[in-house]
Amino acid sequence: IAGITQAPTSQILAAGRRMTLRCTQDMRHNAMYWYRQDLGLGLRLIHYSNTAGTTGKGEVPDGYSVSRANTDDFPLTLASAVPSQTSVYFCASSDRQGGHNEQFFGPGTRLTVL
């Protein structure tokens, strides 16, 4: 069982380019999340999805979009990357059936925008 996988592990990207970060979970969790982690700022929620077919905005959604076509996949797209999007990106999932929300995290994608 892999849990959550993210790809790529790291990426260097020129400003203005489009980039999609991939996230796949095999736990059949209904909820999924994207965070960015920056030094001194902790983790901040970008977008989330309660269930396949629905998405919502988190704390810092500008410049990012997501889709949730099925239960397992939750890609994050940067339409036109900017240097301020340099960060480590974590995908997470949770099974919210029980009402309390433990989250499982992927290994992260380190993105550098030049």
Partner 1 sequence: SQQGEEDPQALSIQEGENATMNCSYKTSINNLQWYRQNSGRGLVHLILIRSNEREKHSGRLRVTLDTSKKSSSLLITASRAADTASYFCATEQPHAGGTSYGKLTFGQGTILTVHP
Binding-site ranges for partner 1 (CB under 8 A):
4, 31, 33, 35, 40-45, 48, 50, 56, 58-59, 90, 92, 94, 96, 100-108
Nearer to partner 1, 16 or 56 (CB): 56
Min dist. Cβ of residue 100 to partner 1 (A): 5
Min dist. Cβ of residue 55 to partner 1 (A): 10
Q: Under 8 Å CB-to-CB from 83, ≥6 apart: which residues?
A: 15, 113, 114
Spatial separation of the C-alpha atoms in residues 96 and 31, rounded to whole Å: 7
Nearer to partner 1, 78 or 89 (CB): 89
- The single-letter code of the amino acid at 46 is I
Min dist. Cβ of residue 93 to partner 1 (A): 11
Min dist. Cβ of residue 50 to partner 1 (A): 5
DSSP state of 1: -
Task: Read off φ and ψ for residue 21, nearest 5 degrees.
Answer: -95, 130
Instruction: Please give the structure tokens belonging to residue 27.
Output: 């736990």
Q: Under 8 Å CB-to-CB from 102, ≥6 apart: which residues?
A: 94
